[in-house]
Amino acid sequence: MKSLKITAVLVIALISNFAFSQDSDIIAPSGFDKPQEGISKGDVKEISYPSTTVGKDRVANIYFPPGYVATQEYPVLYLLHGIGGDEREWLDQGHPEVILDNLYAANKVKPMIVVLPNGRAMENDRAEGNIFGEEQVKAFATFEKDLMVDLIPFIEKTYKVKSGVENRALAGLSMGGGQSLNFGLNHPEDFAWIGSFSPAPNTKQGEGLLPKPEVTKANLKLLFLSCGDQDNLMNVSNRTHDFLNDQGIEHIYRVIPNHHHNFEYWKNELYYFTQLIF
Ligand code: FER
């Protein structure tokens, strides 16, 4: 009887322990997105850069980490928004600056600069009118050129930035998640870290998604693909996960239970992704 009791206690302990460690790997601890008093805070600054792609100056935001020193070199994460957003979407709805300030205070993230661009590369890049229109959706593809030819060179000549593929990350939500996969895998010489949070149907398929498998295999340090299990776009993540497996591209695939296509989920993923990079 006694040994039965001990066995039962052990089994319960094992089950609850297992559930606990699983949860903490998947769902961020409460308070991760709440501003804390008494910790150092980073700075958010709006910048403008000349775009040869669009033919005008374009606006982006930058988050500088707490204790940023302009004479030191930092790696850079480019963080992209969704179809209804612009260069302020993450800041207004996801508050990455709060999540990152908290992670810095807990010493859980490497010092990095985060650039928040506008991923709709067209003359009027506001999320207005028919945001699903052909021209508007095409502008999310055109942003590849703006990013590679205009924005990244501007950032790298304006700020002290660590060189090398291992010091550049690209991540985004939904349309920005599709862009991160499309552009990141098209430029494996330039991005070693890719994060895709509930990628949208703009995500390419087949050889179009993975044009340089050998360079990708050599350079990629992390491909982080995830989706909430309640998201209508799950099929895009599933098909991408299957394709990457078929091609032998190592990646993390997270399916987050009871989560939808929204900032509660995207913030959660940012919390985990940023701790894994650089
Ligand atoms: C679509 C469904 C969703 C699509 C784009 C999205 C281009 C993007 C959603 C988002 O960014 O939140 O069919 O086609």
Q: What is the pLDDT of residues 6-40, one digit of tens each?
A: 444 444 444 444 444 458 899 999 999 999 999 99
pLDDT band at 218 (very low <50, low <70, confident <90, very high): very high
> What's the whole-model pTM score?
0.93
Domain over 3-276 is classified CATH 2.40.40.20? no
Residue nearest to atom 13 of ligand 1 (CA): 201
Domain locations along the chain: 3-276
> Measuring CA to CA, which residue among 135, 247, 119 is closest to residue 185?
247
Distance between CA atoms of residues 152 and 60, nearest Å: 11
Angle at alpha carbon of residue 76, lines to 72 and 77, rounded to 5°: 150
For a pocket test of ligand 1, which of 79, 83, 134 has the largest count of ligand atoms closer than 8 A to its C-beta? Answer: 83
Q: State the chain's maximal CA–CA distance in angstroms.
A: 80
Name residues contacting ligand 1 (CB within 6 A): 82-83, 137, 174-175, 200-202
Q: What is the pLDDT of residues 117-165, one digit of tens each?
A: 999 999 999 999 999 999 999 999 999 999 999 999 999 999 999 999 9
